[in-house]
Amino acid sequence: MHLQTDNHRWMLRPDVVSTVLNDGAVILDLRSKFFFSANPTGWAIAQMFETGATRAEVHDACRKWGAADAGIPEIDALIDQMISEGLVESVNTPASATNGVTVAAWVSPAFSKHREPLQRIMVSAFDPGLPLAE
């Protein structure tokens, strides 16, 4: 499947948790322990997948937020990254009402994966560090 021509409805996996920061958001995948940071535009796109969205619906929303047609490939690249990282999954649910996402000023969406995941195996329930040989 060529990801950029899909008609799937995509939704954030239940074990993907997002949290807002002053200048965007951070999305943590509790399964892989990797996290991703997004600028406000990237976060607005990611939020559309909280209630489920198709690629076309994301394109339409981005145009309303100020994206030009020339900017669609970078929006698709972000969606492709979310799909390839397994942050979203294809669902069969019908279209849901918009979740009220707004963007103050359109800028190119940024969505980057942090190099260092959180530890999968840790010292203890209080110390999330890497266990050292005892």
Give me the amino acid identity at 100: G
Q: For strands 24-29 and 35-38, give the pairing.
A: antiparallel
Residues from 35 through 54 that contact another protein (CB under 8 A): 35, 37
Which one, 39 or 54, has the nearer CB to another protein? 39
Which one, 18 or 55, has the nearer CB to another protein? 18
Q: Does 15 bind another protein (CB under 8 A)?
A: yes
Q: Does 31 bind another protein (CB under 8 A)?
A: yes
DSSP assignment of 30-90: TTT--EEEE-HHHHHHHHHHHH-EEHHHHHHHHHHHT--GGGHHHHHHHHHHHHHTTSEEE
Q: Does 114 bind another protein (CB under 8 A)?
A: yes
The binding site for another protein (CB under 8 A) comprises 14-15, 17, 19-23, 26, 28, 30-31, 35, 37, 114, 116, 118-132, 134
